[in-house]
C-alpha cells in the first residue's frame, strides 16, 4: 500500500494581506517583525500600503520590505477612477452599499478633516484593493492602526472583499473614536486587536457590549537583536537616551526642560535624542535657549542596530509621553537590560514597574522628571543593572514576537473556521 503524500493532503497555506496606512517606516518596525513572523509560521503574506513613507528609509530590513510592498496610491488618479467605475458597473448593489457607508463615515469624520470627499477616495482605494485581492486569492486582510487603512479594509469587505481584522495602537484612534468609526469597524471585523489591556478597554468603551469577546490583546513583538541580545552591563558614564518621534504627544520639550533643571543644579549628565518630526525645530531652539548644546545631542533617525547600541551605551531610556498605546522602544530598552523612565500613561504601567524596572512620573511635570533622572544618573550602576535584568525578564515574557504573531495567526485561522496550524515548520528545519 502506498503511503499518503502529505503535501497533497495538506490544506493550502493561508494567504494574508497586511494593509498599513504607510509601510514600511522607521517608527513602525514592530509591524515588519510581526508580518515576517506570521510569514515564517507558514502563511503567505502580501504587503500592501496606501502610500509610501516620504522620509528616506535607513534600516536595511525596511529597505528590503519596501521592494516587496505595493502602494495603492501609485495607481494614480486615473487608476483610482477606473477601479471605482469598474466596481460600480460589475457590482452595483455592493457598490451602493459601500458608497452609503463611505458617506456615513465621512459625515462622522468631517469635523476632524476626514470628510465625505476623503472617504470617497478611500472607497476608490478599496475598489483597487478589491481587484488585487481577487487576483491574489486573499483569505484575510489584517490592517494595522484603526485609521485610514482599517477604513479601506472595511469598505473593501463591504464591496465583497475578504474578511478583515485590525490592530489599534493608540493614541490617535482613542482621541477620535467615533469620527474614525471604531464601533463600525469592530462590528464589521472578524476580530479586533489591541496591543495592551488599556487599548482593549478603549475599544470596549466604544464598541457594543456584544462585540467585546472578539476584541483581543496581541502584544507587539521584539526583534531578536533586542530580545536575544547578550547582556551589556550598565555603564558608569552618566548617559541617557530618548528615542521617539518629535511630536507633541511624546512630551520631548518637557524632557529638555528637565535637562535644563539638572544643569542648573550642577548635575552631570549626557542626553541623546533620537528621532525627528514636526517639533524638531522647536526642540533645537529650546536646547539653545537653555544652553544645553554641550549636554543634549540631537542624533536624528537611526537604524534598529544603531538604536540598540545607543541604548546599551546608556544608563536608562527616557520617554516622557503625554499619550501612547504601549511604546515599543520601552520594550526594547527593557529587553536590553536598561531601566526606563516614563509616564503614568495608557499601557505603560502594564510594562514599567516603579522601583522594579524603572520610574514612572506624572506627564508634563518637568520637576518630577528631573528628579527621576537625577536618581538614575546618581544611582550605582549595579542597582540599575539589577533593575534592567528584571526588565529583561518581563519583556521576554510579554513581547516574544514568535508567541505574539502565533496568537494573531491563530485568531485568523479560527475566524475563517480553519484549524490553527501545527507548530511552525521553521522550528523543524
Set out the domains of the chain in order of their start, with CATH numbers.
13-221+400-427 (3.40.50.2000), 224-398 (3.40.50.2000)
For residues 371 and 348, what is the distance between their CA atoms, to the nearest angstrom? Answer: 19
Q: In what order do the strands lie in the sheet with 15-22?
A: 69-71, 44-51, 15-22, 140-144, 164-168, 191-194, 215-217
Cell digits for 262?
Answer: 539638572
- CB half-sphere exposure, 116, CA atoms < 13 A: 5
For residue 98, CA distances in Å to 146, 240, 255, 312, 410 come to 18, 51, 46, 50, 29
User: Is residue 24 exposed (0-12), middle (13-18) or buried (19+ Cβ within 10 Å)?
Assistant: buried
Tens place of pLDDT for every residue, the chain, 429 residues?
444 444 445 668 999 999 999 999 877 888 999 999 999 989 999 999 999 998 888 888 899 999 999 999 999 999 999 999 999 999 999 999 999 999 999 999 877 667 999 999 999 999 999 999 999 999 999 999 999 999 999 999 999 999 999 999 988 899 999 999 999 999 999 999 999 999 999 999 999 999 999 999 999 998 888 888 899 999 999 999 999 999 999 999 999 999 999 999 999 999 999 999 999 999 999 999 999 999 999 999 888 889 999 999 999 999 999 999 899 899 999 999 999 999 999 999 999 999 999 999 999 999 999 999 999 999 999 999 999 999 999 999 999 999 999 999 999 999 998 655 444 333 222
Cell digits for 282?
Answer: 522647536
Please report which residue ranges of 58-180 form alpha helices under DSSP H: 60-68, 76-90, 92-109, 116-136, 148-158, 172-175
Amino acid at each position: 500500500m502506498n503511503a499518503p503524500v502529505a503535501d497533497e493532503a495538506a490544506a493550502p497555506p493561508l494567504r494574508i494581506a497586511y494593509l498599513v496606512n504607510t509601510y514600511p517606516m522607521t517608527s513602525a518596525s514592530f509591524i515588519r517583525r510581526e508580518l515576517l513572523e506570521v510569514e515564517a509560521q507558514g502563511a503567505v503574506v502580501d504587503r500592501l500600503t496606501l502610500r509610501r513613507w516620504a522620509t528616506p528609509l535607513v534600516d536595511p530590513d525596511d529597505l528590503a520590505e519596501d521592494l516587496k510592498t505595493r502602494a495603492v496610491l501609485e495607481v494614480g488618479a486615473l487608476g483610482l477612477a477606473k477601479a471605482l467605475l469598474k466596481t460600480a458597473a460589475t457590482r452595483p448593489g455592493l457598490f451602493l452599499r459601500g458608497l452609503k457607508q463611505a458617506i456615513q463615515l465621512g459625515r462622522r469624520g468631517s469635523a476632524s478633516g476626514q470628510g465625505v470627499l476623503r472617504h470617497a477616495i478611500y472607497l476608490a482605494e478599496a475598489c483597487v484593493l478589491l481587484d488585487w485581492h481577487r487576483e491574489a486569492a486573499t483569505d484575510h486582510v489584517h490592517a494595522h492602526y484603526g485609521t485610514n487603512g482599517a477604513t479601506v479594509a472595511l469598505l473593501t469587505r463591504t464591496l465583497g472583499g475578504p474578511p478583515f481584522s485590525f490592530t489599534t495602537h493608540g493614541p490617535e484612534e482613542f482621541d477620535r473614536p467615533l469620527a474614525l468609526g471604531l464601533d463600525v469597524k469592530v462590528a464589521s471585523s472578524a476580530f479586533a486587536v489591541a496591543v495592551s489591556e488599556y487599548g482593549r478597554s478603549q475599544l470596549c468603551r466604544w464598541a457594543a457590549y456584544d462585540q467585546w469577546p472578539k476584541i483581543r490583546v496581541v502584544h507587539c513583538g521584539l526583534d531578536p537583536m533586542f530580545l536575544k541580545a547578550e547582556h551589556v552591563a550598565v555603564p558608569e558614564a552618566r548617559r541617557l537616551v530618548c528615542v521617539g518621534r518629535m511630536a507633541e504627544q511624546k512630551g520631548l520639550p518637557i524632557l529638555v526642560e528637565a535637562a535644563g533643571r539638572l544643569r542648573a543644579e550642577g548635575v552631570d549628565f549626557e542626553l541623546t535624542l533620537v528621532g525627528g518630526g514636526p517639533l524638531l525645530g522647536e526642540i533645537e531652539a529650546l536646547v539653545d535657549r537653555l544652553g544645553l548644546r554641550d549636554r543634549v545631542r540631537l542624533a536624528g533617525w537611526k537604524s534598529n542596530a544603531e538604536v540598540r547600541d545607543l541604548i546599551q551605551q546608556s544608563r536608562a531610556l527616557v520617554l516622557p509621553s503625554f499619550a501612547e498605546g504601549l511604546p515599543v522602544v520601552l520594550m526594547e530598552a527593557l529587553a536590553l537590560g536598561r531601566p526606563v523612565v516614563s509616564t503614568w500613561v495608557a499601557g505603560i504601567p502594564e510594562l514599567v514597574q516603579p522601583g522594579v524596572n524603572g520610574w514612572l512620573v506624572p506627564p508634563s511635570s518637568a520637576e518630577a522628571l528631573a528628579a527621576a533622572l537625577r536618581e538614575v544618573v546618581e544611582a550605582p550602576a549595579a542597582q540599575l543593572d539589577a533593575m534592567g535584568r528584571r526588565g529583561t525578564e518581563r519583556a521576554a515574557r510579554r513581547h516574544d514576537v514568535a508567541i505574539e504573531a502565533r496568537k494573531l495567526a491563530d485568531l485568523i485561522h479560527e475566524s475563517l473556521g480553519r484549524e490553527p496550524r501545527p507548530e511552525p515548520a521553521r522550528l523543524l528545519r
